[in-house]
Amino acid sequence: MRKVLIGLAVLTVLAAACAPEDDTSTGASGSETGAAPTDAKGCAASSDVTYTTDNALTIGTGNPAYPPWFEGGEQPGTEWKINDPSNDQGFESQVAYAVARQMGFEDNQVTWVPVPFNASFAPGPKDFDLVLQQISYSAKRAQAVDFSDSYYDVNQALVSTKGSSIADATTIEELKDAKLGAPIGTTSLDEITDVIQPNAEPLVYDSLNAAVQDLKNGQVDGIVVDLPTAFYVTAVQVPDGVIVGQFPTEGQQEYFAIAFPKDSALVQCVNLALDELKSDGTLDEIQQKWLSDKASAPVIAA
């Protein structure tokens, strides 16, 4: 019987040994919270806000970093593909640096880490303070992460190839018999299943590249992506690609938001920064610079 008791004790200890240490570092005593800061700089410097790395703003995005969100090409010796986000080129890169400056960070205090899409909303400790990756806001998603206000209002668009059966479509009705595809995790897919409702099951890809590959191969008649991406796809990736048109906004305007780990105190600071950038016209300028020629396309009628 003693042997049995010892065995039980060993098992219990083993199970207990798997327990993680209690996280005592949470909630760094926010004792001296005076009046809520009203500017991004004061907010970002307040003791309520904690960063994954001290004195630095760590920003996550997808790798490869696609245009027009990131531009300027690869930097030799870095892990970034297609574009290096740390060069302050491209829409999202410039928005990120503008927000960081507004919060009082120097450019060299901003570091970028590649974050796979699933990792941006997985629970647990994060190695980034915020993520910019063309993530559309939705109430359901906001249960898992915190979102900033909009930094870009976006519409979805349909890309096809010259001479395809849907290249000249002007109404959603004409798309019913088309074979369509979209990258996973995007609202583009919702556009297909909820709005177009084609007869054939849409294909769903784990990356933009896979979707583009199938469009080139003629495996799908068209792919749905956001409008700026549609311009990139047709200009660079698919030589005979055409933008069939963009889909009209239905109900709530879709927008890209910066995502934060749940309950991040940084959200209000970034929102203050975005407000400041909107009122002084900086955000508009950045949008003009990178997306102005990528915002107009014929609208596909319902």
Partner 1 sequence: MSLPGSGLEDDPRLEGSRRSRILGHAATRDRRNVWIAVISTVVFFGALIVVVVNSPGWLQIKQTFFDWDEFWSSIWSILRYFRLNVFIFCVAEVLVLALGLFVAVLRSLPGPVFAPLRILAIGYTDLFRGIPTILVISLLGFGMPALQLQGIPDSKIFWGIVALTLVYSAYVAEVYRAGIESVHPSQVAAARALGLTRIQALRHVIVPQAVRRVIPPLLNDFIGLQKDSALVAFLGIVEGLNRANIIVQADFNFTPLVALALIFLIITIPMTRFVDYLIERERRRTQGGAKL
181 three-state secondary structure: strand
Per CB under 8 A, which of residues 132..171 are in contact with partner 1? Answer: 138, 140-141, 143-145
CA atoms within 13 A on the CB side of 90: 24
- Per rule CB under 8 A, is residue 211 in the interface with partner 1? yes
Rounded Cα gap, residues 121 and 143, in angstroms: 10
Q: Which stretch binds partner 1 (CB under 8 A): 33-41, 49-57, 86-94, 215-223?
A: 215-223
Rounded Cα gap, residues 202 and 264, in angstroms: 36
Per CB under 8 A, which of residues 219..238 are in contact with partner 1? Answer: 219
Query: Which residues pair with residue 131 across a beta bridge?
Result: 60, 259
Q: Dihedral (C-alpha) 116, 157, 74, 236: value to the nearest 10 degrees? A: 140
Least distance (Å) from partner 1 to the CB of residue 165? 16
Residue with Cβ nearer partner 1 (82 or 203): 203
Among 56, 119, 195, 210, binds partner 1 (CB under 8 A): 210
Per CB under 8 A, which of residues 252..291 are in contact with partner 1? Answer: 262
The angle subtended at Cα 135 by Cα 224 and Cα 162, nearest 5°, is 20
- Per rule CB under 8 A, is residue 189 in the interface with partner 1? yes
Rounded Cα gap, residues 208 and 233, in angstroms: 9
- Per rule CB under 8 A, is residue 202 in the interface with partner 1? yes
- Per rule CB under 8 A, is residue 185 in the interface with partner 1? yes
- Using an 8 Å Cβ cutoff, are 60 and 116 in contact? no
Per-residue tokens: 18: 């798997």
Of 166, 158, 130, nearest to 262 by C-alpha is: 130
- Per rule CB under 8 A, is residue 201 in the interface with partner 1? yes
Per CB under 8 A, which of residues 15..74 are in contact with partner 1? Answer: 15-16, 18-20, 22-23, 26
- Interface residues with partner 1 (CB under 8 A) are 4, 7-8, 11-12, 15-16, 18-20, 22-23, 26, 117-118, 121-124, 138, 140-141, 143-145, 181, 184-185, 189-190, 201-206, 210-211, 213-214, 216-219, 262
